[in-house]
Structure 1
Amino acid sequence: MSEVTRHPLVRLESLALVAIGGFAGSNLRYFAALVLPGLAGTLAVNVVGSFALGFVLYERLYSGLLAKETRVVVSTGFLSSFTTYSTFALQSAQAPPLWLVVNVVANYTLGFSAVLLGRYVARLAEKRWSQ
């Protein structure tokens, strides 16, 4: 770790960015639950969040145009509060057996597919930005 990254102000900045992102993500998650309650709303935020996380993290590998601070706000702050594994697990456990299986398969299949789509979009964006 370099001297710059060890400096207390750098750590404080990262903490503040995660808090700001977390505040925004959790509030949008709450709004999404009001608009689309239950299993469908949880599935929707998990798939959208998986896509966004896939894009942000693969964008770093392909082009790296987003600043480190942006990645911290979006991935660790916003998306970790927007998506919700605990609600997914609880709702799945409370669902009838068939819906439990459907919900688990749908969340994982669509979530992984969304990450791959995010990676694909990041590659397209890198090609577009490099021209």
Structure 2
Amino acid sequence: MALNEGITDIKLDKDYLKQYFEFLTESDGARFGAVDLWSFEELPSHQFRVTEFFGGTEKWFEVGQVLYEPLVIEKSSGQVYCFFQGHPARVGQTLGDFNLFLLNYVFGRKYEELVPNVQSEEWYQFLKRIGLA
């Protein structure tokens, strides 16, 4: 696990990023096991992958990755999706808004749905020890 110091001087002009930017005020980027969340400074350099997805940068905004696969927010809804090999992990099924994604998939039992061989993964073992998984 790695947390960075939060930043407070972010100018918010996109509703779909509101929850992510609120997270950045607490931690400007982070790593939780197999989940990496980009810092504010890293965001622009990570948008190239979504250009290949249906709707491209008009529809998607990359905020991190899970096992090197893009973690994106759909701009029209603010919902989080993970793409594996260029396709949504769960077609038509969101991982929730950013706050629900954090609660359920980063700090909760659903982490095991994102990560193969999770039983041997250190972050998952930590979640189990503290009673969150």
Category of TM-score, reference length = shorter chain: under 0.3
Structure with the greater alpha carbon radius of gyration: 1
* Higher RCO (C-alpha 8 Å, min separation 6): 1
State the TM-score, normalized to the length of structure 1. 0.26
**TM-score, structure 2 as length reference:** 0.26
* The structure with more helix, counted as a fraction of residues: 1
Bigger proportion of residues as strand: 2
